[in-house]
């Protein structure tokens, strides 16, 4: 049975979407040992969709152990395009609560683990969905503006990341040239991204952030209640209330990605 699977798989190209390069390379080696021609990508966006459209693989594997909601968004983008809709999608690993969120959006994809992929992947390739589920709306940052573009990150920008998720910079790829990051807020920063997860956290820190904000722009980001998988008691109304109380001016509101909403603040002109 194993020899039969390898014989079938030897001419099959599988594309792995994985956000950690060293781990992705190890996964590609594992797929090659199973008899597949494998490659990986760790950048979402229009360029990825063009690559898959021009050179469609036999299946797209999407790792959910890192950035699961961004992985979901890649799957949604593939289903929204007529050119890629029938490519089998196989989501691998991930926490059960995150996998559930993805499964609710794409119920007819294949959900597997690296332990069982030897059985599930060839079956997914042999039996692609006849009438694939295509969600009604495109995910943010996939078919429209990139996340970096939404946040106003430009060439040479100095960006402060305050309480950011460890892998958030991966979601900003591809970055404009010369962008650098800081872990603390300072006058040299062009953009400050402050991630808050509760009203108490925002109340405790906004006075200091507002006092230090000079000519830069401050994004306050909070988890989306329905799609982030994170708990929290913040809303746009609450963020606006506390920001205005510090004399800041709200510049614009944005859906940053599947996890975070954001409100951009600047100092009031004298």
pLDDT digits (tens, 9 = 90+) for 244-270: 999 999 888 888 877 889 999 998 765
Does residue 4 register a pLDDT over 70? no
For domain 2-126, which CATH number applies: 3.40.50.150, 3.40.50.2300, 3.40.630.30, 3.40.50.880? 3.40.50.2300
Distance, CA of 173 to CA of 147 (rounded, Å): 8
2-126 against 147-267: fold identical: yes
Q: How far is CA 29 from CA 38, 91, 163, in A?
A: 8, 18, 34
pLDDT digits (tens, 9 = 90+) for 135-185: 765 554 444 467 888 899 999 999 999 999 887 887 787 788 999 999 999
CB neighbours of 87 closer than 8 A, spacing ≥ 6? 52, 56, 57, 58, 59, 60, 78, 128
- pLDDT (0 to 100) of residue 7: 45
Whether residue 14 contacts residue 61, with contact meaning beta carbons closer than 8 Å, is answered with yes
Tokens in use for 32?
């090659």
The CA angle 151-64-49, to the nearest 5 degrees, is: 60
For domain 147-267, which CATH number applies: 3.90.79.10, 3.40.50.150, 1.10.600.10, 3.40.50.2300? 3.40.50.150
Q: In what order do the strands lie in the sheet with 191-195?
A: 180-182, 158-162, 191-195, 217-223, 260-267, 248-255
Q: pTM score, two decimals?
A: 0.52
What is the overall mean pLDDT for the chain? 86
Is the torsion defined by CA of 240, 243, 247, 250 positive or negative?
negative
Least confidently predicted of 15-29, 97-111, 128-142, 246-260: 128-142
Q: Where are the domains of the chain?
A: 2-126, 147-267
Least confidently predicted of 46-50, 187-191, 202-206, 239-243: 46-50
């Amino acid at each position: 049975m194993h020899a039969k699977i390898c014989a079938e798989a030897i001419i099959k190209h599988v594309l792995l979407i994985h956000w950690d390069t060293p781990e992705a390379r190890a996964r590609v080696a594992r797929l090659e040992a199973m008899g597949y021609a494998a490659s990986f990508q760790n950048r979402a966006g229009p360029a990825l969709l063009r690559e898959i459209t021009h050179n469609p693989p036999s299946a797209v594997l999407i790792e959910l152990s890192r950035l699961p909601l961004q992985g979901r968004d890649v799957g949604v983008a593939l289903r929204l395009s007529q050119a890629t809709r029938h490519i089998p999608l196989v989501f691998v690993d991930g926490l059960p609560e995150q996998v559930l969120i993805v499964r609710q959006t794409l119920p007819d994809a294949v959900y597997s683990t690296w332990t069982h992929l030897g059985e599930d992947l060839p079956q997914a390739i042999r039996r692609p969905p006849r009438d694939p589920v295509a969600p009604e709306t495109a995910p943010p940052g996939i078919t429209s503006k990139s996340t970096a573009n939404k946040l106003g990150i430009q060439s040479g920008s100095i960006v402060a990341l305050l309480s950011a998720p460890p892998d958030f910079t991966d979601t900003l790829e591809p970055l404009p040239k010369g962008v650098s990051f800081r872990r603390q807020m300072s006058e040299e920063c062009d953009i400050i991204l402050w991630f808050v997860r509760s009203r108490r956290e925002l109340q405790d820190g906004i006075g200091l952030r507002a006092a230090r904000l000079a000519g830069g722009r401050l994004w306050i980001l909070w988890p989306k209640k329905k799609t982030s998988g994170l708990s929290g008691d913040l809303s746009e109304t609450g963020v606006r209330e506390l920001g205005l109380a510090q004399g800041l001016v709200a510049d614009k509101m944005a859906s940053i990605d599947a996890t975070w909403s954001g409100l951009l603040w600047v100092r009031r002109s004298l």
